């Protein structure tokens, strides 16, 4: 008889992680001879530990299809990392109990680097703890830092959002620069890598002066001010894209500028206001600043069509690989060509994915450290191609909220 499957979303959500969920569930439904019910963990792996399993078979085909155009994690996600098999033995044993109780033979884990590591450990349960399960990691992360795969679903849509927002705000400040705002600072995500910040550089071809502050490049205030000054002299205005991970040579984030509130507490600021005020103090230029935060990774209204398609494809391929007997693998996106952009889904061994972080190549950053190179543009541009608008109802996107009904528990409670 067909084994059931477990699917969970892990870590920070994205505009397209639900498209992967859609790919997993729709594909499983097509192969009901091989896969029984897909149970989703409520709030990720915590749902498995707590035996809080959502019965996705109770969701209509239309609602599952609507996941493709709905941002966020439809089943809830969590920040929870399982440790090694020895250290977290009780948790792994609990997982096996839950899987056994609900006849689960497939484990689909939709996440980033930490999740790949967890998924790899689950894949070894078969061998190490005698429970037969196939574990497939479905890649997702706006950080774009998983190895082997050309990109990580979720990143392309953030890149598109940041590029479009940078373009639009730059047009705005260009209009205002004669008598008012001359500097616009946009803070973007990326504590360790500048992938997202790099996307701001894609607007340079439209004549927009952009200065990027990458986490990969130690902040040099003097050089930065000279660069901004030169851009303003040439163009009359300048846009600055600052990664939240931009930092001083001593490693201190720009956001931690020693600012104190009325009670003397260190103020959790944001890099954008710090940079903006710095430019005002040094160059006397009027500024505006924005912090995109969750807006950037939730912006399904502006998703990259390429990204949506890839997100769906890795979910679909995950199920197909599982059916064909694979274990301990991750569907990986392989770029075939840039122009025309072609790609296919390959297969990466989790042993080579777990605990490996892909950094941005240094030849993607221009020599002065404030911009991106042609090689970077060639890499990024295909990832933001195409629009994939959600349907709208009464002026707002018609996103789905699932029923998310849990199945009856069979086991005693477990303290997560």
Site membership for its own copies, residue 291 (CB under 8 A): yes
* CB 291, min distance to its own copies, A: 5
**Token representation of residue 186:** 């946009």
Cα separation, 243 vs 295, in Å, equals: 15
Applying CB under 8 A, among 33, 86, 130, 178 the residue interacting with its own copies is 178
Site membership for its own copies, residue 346 (CB under 8 A): no
Count of residues engaged in binding its own copies, rule: CB under 8 A: 82
Of 55, 103, 114, 143, which is the active-site residue? 143
Applying CB under 8 A, among 78, 183, 193, 217 the residue interacting with its own copies is 78
Cα separation, 56 vs 405, in Å, equals: 8
Residues 254-283 that bind its own copies (CB under 8 A): 257-262, 267-270, 272-273, 276-277
* CB 295, min distance to its own copies, A: 5
Pairing of strands 104-111, 134-139: parallel
* CB 260, min distance to its own copies, A: 6
Spatial contact of 318 and 5, defined as CB atoms under 8 Å apart: no
Bridge partners, 138 (sequence order): 110
The DSSP string of 317-337 is HHHHHHHTT--SEEEEEEEEE
The DSSP string of 52-83 is -EEEGGGS-HHHHHHGGG--S-TT--------
Query: Is 367 considered catalytic here?
Result: no
Site membership for its own copies, residue 304 (CB under 8 A): yes
Pairing of strands 396-397, 134-139: unpaired
CB of 73 or CB of 194, closer to its own copies: 73
Helices (H) and strands (E) in the chain, counts: 14, 13
Residue of 88, 16, 87, 28 lying closest to 57 (CA atoms): 28
Of 9-17, 110-118, 319-327, 405-413, the segment contacting its own copies by CB under 8 A is: 9-17
Site membership for its own copies, residue 335 (CB under 8 A): no
CB of 272 or CB of 333, closer to its own copies: 272
Applying CB under 8 A, among 20, 381, 388, 402 the residue interacting with its own copies is 381
Of 78-86, 127-135, 142-150, 346-354, the segment contacting its own copies by CB under 8 A is: 78-86
**Burial tier of 5 (Cβ tally within 10 Å: 0-12, 13-18, 19+):** buried
* CB 279, min distance to its own copies, A: 12
* CB 271, min distance to its own copies, A: 12
Site membership for its own copies, residue 71 (CB under 8 A): yes
CB of 195 or CB of 321, closer to its own copies: 195
Residue 76 region by backbone torsions, left for phi larger than 0, else alpha for psi between -120 and 50, else beta: left
Report, as residue numbers or ranges, the catalytic residues: 143
């Amino acid at each position: 008889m067909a084994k059931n499957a477990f699917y969970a979303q892990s870590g920070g959500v994205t505009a397209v992680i639900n498209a992967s969920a859609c790919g997993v569930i729709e594909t499983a439904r097509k192969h009901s001879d091989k896969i029984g019910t897909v149970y989703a963990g409520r709030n990720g792996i915590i749902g498995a530990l707590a035996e809080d399993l959502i019965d996705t078979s109770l969701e209509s085909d239309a609602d599952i299809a609507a996941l493709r155009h709905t941002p966020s994690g439809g089943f809830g996600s969590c920040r929870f990392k399982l440790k090694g098999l020895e250290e977290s033995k009780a948790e792994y044993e609990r997982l096996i109990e839950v899987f056994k109780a609900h006849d689960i033979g497939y484990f689909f884990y939709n996440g980033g680097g930490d999740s790949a590591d967890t998924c790899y450990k689950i894949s070894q349960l078969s061998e190490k703890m005698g429970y037969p399960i196939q574990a497939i990691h479905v890649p997702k992360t706006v950080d774009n830092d998983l190895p082997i795969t050309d990109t990580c679903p979720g990143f392309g849509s953030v890149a598109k959002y940041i590029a479009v927002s940078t373009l639009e705000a730059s047009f705005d400040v260009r209009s205002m620069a004669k008598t008012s705002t001359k500097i616009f600072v946009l803070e973007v995500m990326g504590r360790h890598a500048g992938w997202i910040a790099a996307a701001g550089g894609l607007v340079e071809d439209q004549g927009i002066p952009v200065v990027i502050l990458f986490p990969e490049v130690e902040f040099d205030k003097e050089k930065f001010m000279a660069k901004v000054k030169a851009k303003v002299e040439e163009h009359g205005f300048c846009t600055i894209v600052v990664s939240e991970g931009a930092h001083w040579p001593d490693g201190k984030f720009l956001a931690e500028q020693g600012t104190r509130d009325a009670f003397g507490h260190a103020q959790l600021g944001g890099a954008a206001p710090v940079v903006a005020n710095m430019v005002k103090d040094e160059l006397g230029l009027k500024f505006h600043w924005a912090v995109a935060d969750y807006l950037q990774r939730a912006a399904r209204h502006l998703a990259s069509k390429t990204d949506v398609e890839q997100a769906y494809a890795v979910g679909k391929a995950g199920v197909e690989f599982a059916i064909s007997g694979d274990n301990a693998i991750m569907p990986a996106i392989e770029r075939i060509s840039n122009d025309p952009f072609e790609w296919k889904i390959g297969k990466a061994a989790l042993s080579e994915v777990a605990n490996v972080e892909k950094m941005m190549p240094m030849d993607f950053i221009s020599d002065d450290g404030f911009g991106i190179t042609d090689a970077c543009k060639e890499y990024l541009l295909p990832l933001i191609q195409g629009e994939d608008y959600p349907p709208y109802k009464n002026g707002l996107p018609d996103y789905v909220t699932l029923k998310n009904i849990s199945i009856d528990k069979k086991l005693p409670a477990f303290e997560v």
